[in-house]
Chains A and B, each alone.
Chain A
């Protein structure tokens, strides 16, 4: 049985009558890597700030190790945060930045030196002790910020888009490095990002937020393969979302055609969203496809071509390693497993 280290129960947060978080329920197990994922302004940073103690929830309770900690100030929580813009102290050098928390705890000098050197080794920046913060690159500053939080041996580490300011290549390296670090030292990470790929790569569990409401919580694989609604489907990877009608169990109609699918349990003739991943659509000869269409655009994306196929007044996005000429008439096929049926969201 896994132990819940952090639990948010019915958390609501209002800023001047504006609801930023609406009834958030979420728990984080010990040693888990949980990612809060959503577009900017969805409330993910606010959630993190509530866990860190920088905001108090308007309603609901925050539990840490089974105890309510709503009103505990940040400096009394066994939680450390890595802030979005690193927020390194400009008046202190690398060593002093990392030693900040340890000095507050009044540790022995020798112990501080030992711990700081150990953590610097962990983040791969030995011999950087006396460097000025401003002389470091973005990636190095990022590592120092992580080291400064980790050196306090928190039970939970909160990370607010820590890789947002890094270039793509460095970001990918740091993703793997962070994940390895988390596994190695075995502490709980709560990670905030708007980058869906980052979330899928690193997390054990992903919670997707939109407009202050949790849309779905699950493992990266579950969320990718079984998105709960059209928002999740669209946010995690690219999707074709088509209006459809559920005629019967395993029978759906969209684009004026009836398809077999693997979903059931909807009411008869219910309006639903049909979600099809661009990589699941296969382009065939005009006469062999289930749908007929015309190639409207072809963009080279590196590994694959991204093509827009206009069929039955809908523009399907198709990913394929094969290139088809612009303007040619083609057919589209797909298997029943590739058709995902979602309930229409209320709004």
Chain B
């Protein structure tokens, strides 16, 4: 890898000043960035280590929970408040990566992780995300792991996070700091679809910093489940994953949250399928109908047609688990 500078500012202000300059790159846990640097995919001139910032806390917020951007994945997964209020998030985190990686990776870093598309990683291959207009290697290449929703002919990569699938389902909000102050962004608006600009993963500007995510209180804790289907039991990205959360009253669904991972360039929230579940009995027929609605508009490529079948299977299975029927 090429030589780079490394700084570790102590204040948010100095971080914001540093990242406003070209060639800089924030590093937190580094579990993805260091790999990308070794592969020559990213080659920043200066790393801005933000680990000195006080962003590690998990604290109650006004009707919800505030999770600092530097909270470790393992720390969040095992946090008592998280497990009690949002077990779905804990399950999703524990389904991701390996114990060693979860001990390094942060919430903000997890949001910022980049696709694992092999064509993005191999600098000898074409990739519009790595080098705009160089072509998409995956479109007609090895695309077993790739998107079935929201892809474009420029990019069919998927966003790999498990944590974010749960956060999308849980109506989380992202707190972002810039030099002009703070802003809030719905979690589902944070990541982008590739469109004509696959090089842009998300809506965080170059000179902005993720401070935290906040999750509003809900009634889903009793009936939620994260199901990740993958090629091996740990340290493998999802073929398809589903975050399912239900609010069930006397056998009837009062509210539902559903999101999928491994299927799109962002966590794929399934709002139409959620709506279809409201007022229905918590049974297989309702779940199957929701799954059918969820899959509308799905499009497969050469190697990933199985996702059209695995998608609904995973949705119904996750809903059955969430409803306590399995």
Q: Do A and B come from one complex?
A: no
Residues of B within 8 A of A (CB): none
